[in-house]
Amino acid sequence: MSVLRFQHGRPVIRRWGAAALVALVSGFMAPVHAQNAPASAHVRSVNEWLTRMHEASNQRSYIGTLVVSAGSAMSASKIWHVCDGSQQMERVDTLTGAPRTTIRRNKEVITFVPEAKTAFVEKRDSLGMFPELLRTPSNLIPQFYSAREVGVQRVAGHLADMVEILPRDDLRFGYRIWSERQTGLVVKLQTLGEQGAVLEQVAFSELQLDAPVSMDKLSKLMKDTRGYEVHKPTLKKTTAEAEGWRLKEPVPGFTAMSCHTRETPGAAAQGPGQASMQWVFSDGLASVSLFVEPFDAQRHTQETSATVGATNSVNRRVGDHWLTVMGEAPAATLRRFAIALERTR
C-alpha cells in the first residue's frame, strides 16, 4: 500500500514498503496451485474476513522480512511489531535503497534518515495499513466488494487461507490475500487490476509469530534523536468546506476520512485559502488523497497522469490552485474526483 501526503509542500507517494506492505509483479508469477481447504461449516463474509485480518494486525507480535515490488521496482524491509493491548509499536528498517528507520507508537511516528542525519516526527491517523474498514464511519464494503475463498497455501513457512476480495464495479481494484490460518495475519497480498492482472504484490519472505519484541527498547530508540536534526511538520485539522472546497458529486463508495492543511512559504501573506490541503477518502480498503496547493507557474507546467504499480495520480489546474489526486484506484476513479472538485469561494 502507499501513504500519500505532503513533503516540503509537495504531494508525494511514500510506499508502505518503508513501513510494510506492497508488491511483486503480475505476468511473471507462477500459476497458483492451491491445496484444497477442508470443508468449513461457515463461509466467512467479506466483513468477517477483513475484520479478522484487521484484528490480527493490531493484536499480534511478530518479526518478519517483507519483499515488495511494483513494476520493475523491488524493495525489502525488516519489521518488528509488538502490542500490549492498549498500544502497539512497530519498527521498520529498509533493507534496500537508502537506509531509513521508521518507528511508530500508535499514531506517533518518527522516521530517521541516517545519511542526512535528519528525523521527521509526525502524527498519522493511518500508515496505509490494510484493511482500513474500521476507519470508515459507515461500513458499505459489502455493497462494493465480494469475498471468495480460494484455498490454502504456504507463505514464509506458514499455512495461509487464500481469499479474493473482488470489486462489484470498475471504480476500484480487487485483492488476493493470504491470511495466516491460526491468527488471521495478512502474510501476502496482491492488488488486482483488469481481468485479475497483478498490479502489486507484497509477501513475507520470513515471519516469526509471537516474537519477543521489546516495547521498552523500541520506545528508547524512538526517543533517541541525538545527532539528528528533528523536523516536526505542523498540520492543522480542518474540513474541505472550511477551506472553501467541495465535490460537486460524490464518487460511489468513497467517504471523506480526514482533511488537513499545511502552510507553505508565503502562504500567510497571500491570504486565507493559500495553505496546502490534503483531503483523504476511503472506501474501507482503497484510499484516495486530494492534494490542493497554490498554483505555481514554474512548477505546475503541464497537466499529467502517472502510474506506479497500483498507484495512479492525475493533476489539473483549478483556478488559482493546483490539484493532484493520488490513490490505489483506477485512473478513471481519480479523474472523477478531479473533475468533481470545485471552489466554493
**Cβ atoms within 10 A of the Cβ of 96, count?**
13
Out of 4-13, 112-121, 175-184, pick the least confident.
4-13
Per-residue pLDDT band for 313 (boundaries 50, 70, 90) equals very high
pTM of the model as a whole: 0.82
Is a pLDDT exceeding 70 seen at residue 273?
no
If one compares 195 and 31, the residue with the highest pLDDT of the two is 195
3-state secondary structure of 270: helix
Helix H or strand E encompassing 112:
strand 108-113
pLDDT value of position 138: 55
Residue 186 C-alpha cell reads as: 495478512
pLDDT value of position 263: 65
Is a pLDDT exceeding 70 seen at residue 302?
yes
pLDDT value of position 44: 87
Tens of pLDDT along 210-228?
899 999 999 999 999 999 9
Per-residue pLDDT band for 100 (boundaries 50, 70, 90) equals very high
Per-residue pLDDT band for 83 (boundaries 50, 70, 90) equals confident
pLDDT value of position 97: 93
**Cβ atoms within 10 A of the Cβ of 43, count?**
9
Tens of pLDDT along 2-29?
444 444 445 544 443 322 333 222 222 2
Q: What is the mean pLDDT of residues 92-107?
A: 94
Residue 7 C-alpha cell reads as: 513533503
Is a pLDDT exceeding 50 seen at residue 318?
yes
Q: Report DSSP letters for 245-262, one per residue.
A: EEESSPPTT-EEEEEEEE
Q: What is the mean pLDDT of residues 290-299?
A: 95
Residue 342 C-alpha cell reads as: 470545485
